[in-house]
């Protein structure tokens, strides 16, 4: 029998596979509510964000249903459920973007020309127009972040930022968005984008770095916010104030 290649599995996938096995064995009956995220995280010895990614993956696959304000419930199995999700982990992707794009914002503060800064403001205007029209402002959001990466004049960094941003179209990321993104959250995100532009325009690398880090930290926090009202979970959104520059 020929040997088969051993493929590394993402952490959320390992968690999802364990939970799926328990569901299939009847450990969690159809219609029952799964334990709170924090309890699952403790039992599995992993972080709560990783548990959330696993639960969202199981929802995409049709094993569970997320009921905002109530919890996660086991669904009746159907033959037409989605194929197994193997996409990049959204929360890890956001953290990677935070590390990379914060430095790119600092670089932009040193090197961006006035016309390029105007291009960032145009991207924000596009986002605002889309929100008013009831459209997800993802095109303007992508344009904003790509234009900051373009200011680096580094094709590798531009490719990395573009690919990381485009992960938001994978099914796992899209499901996160359906739960946690809305007109209000996008309004807050647009204000954060505006702060990044103001910091870049002020020619302060430290302020630009902090503003971008603040924005992507909050993007992560919005995807890990409380989704139950029964007291079994607590909100984990934390506001981080950028350091003031002299």
Query: Is 90 exceeded by the pLDDT of residue 196?
Result: yes
Helix (H, G, I), strand (E, B) or coil at 171: helix
Average pLDDT over residues 81-109: 91
**What is the C-alpha separation between 216 and 230, in angstroms, rounded?**
28
**124 CB contacts (<8 Å, ≥6 apart)?**
140, 144, 190, 193, 194, 197
**What is the C-alpha separation between 3 and 113, in angstroms, rounded?**
56
**Residue 100 burial class via C-beta count within 10 angstroms: exposed 0-12, middle 13-18, buried 19 and up:** middle
- Structure confidence by residue, pLDDT tens digits, 131-190: 999 999 999 999 999 999 999 999 999 999 999 999 999 999 999 999 999 999 999 999
What angle, rounded to 10 degrees, do the helices at 183-201 and 138-150 form? 20
Contact 161, 97 (CB under 8 A): yes
Output the pTM of the full model: 0.84
**What is the C-alpha separation between 150 and 116, in angstroms, rounded?**
10
């Amino acid at each position: 029998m020929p040997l088969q290649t051993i493929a590394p599995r993402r952490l959320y996938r390992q968690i999802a596979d364990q939970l799926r096995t328990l569901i299939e064995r009847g450990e969690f009956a159809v219609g029952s509510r799964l334990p709170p995220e924090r309890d699952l995280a403790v039992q599995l010895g992993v972080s709560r964000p990783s548990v959330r990614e696993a639960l969202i993956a199981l929802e995409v696959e049709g094993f569970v249903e997320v009921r905002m304000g109530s919890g996660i419930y086991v669904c009746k199995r159907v033959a037409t459920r989605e194929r197994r999700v193997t996409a990049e982990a959204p929360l890890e992707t956001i953290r990677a973007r935070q590390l990379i794009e914060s430095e790119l914002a600092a670089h932009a503060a040193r090197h961006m020309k006035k016309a390029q800064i105007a291009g960032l403001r145009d991207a924000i205007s596009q986002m605002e127009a889309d929100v008013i029209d009831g459209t997800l402002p993802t095109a303007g959001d992508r344009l904003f972040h790509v234009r900051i990466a373009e200011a680096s004049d580094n094709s590798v960094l531009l490719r990395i930022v573009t690919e990381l941003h485009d992960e938001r179209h994978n099914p796992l990321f899209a499901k996160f968005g359906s739960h946690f993104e809305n007109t209000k959250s996008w309004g807050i995100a647009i204000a954060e984008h505006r702060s990044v532009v103001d910091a870049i325009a002020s020619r302060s690398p430290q302020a630009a770095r902090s503003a971008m880090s603040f924005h992507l930290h909050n993007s992560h926090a919005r995807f890990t916010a409380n989704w139950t009202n029964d007291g079994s979970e607590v909100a984990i959104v934390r506001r981080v104030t950028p350091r003031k520059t002299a």
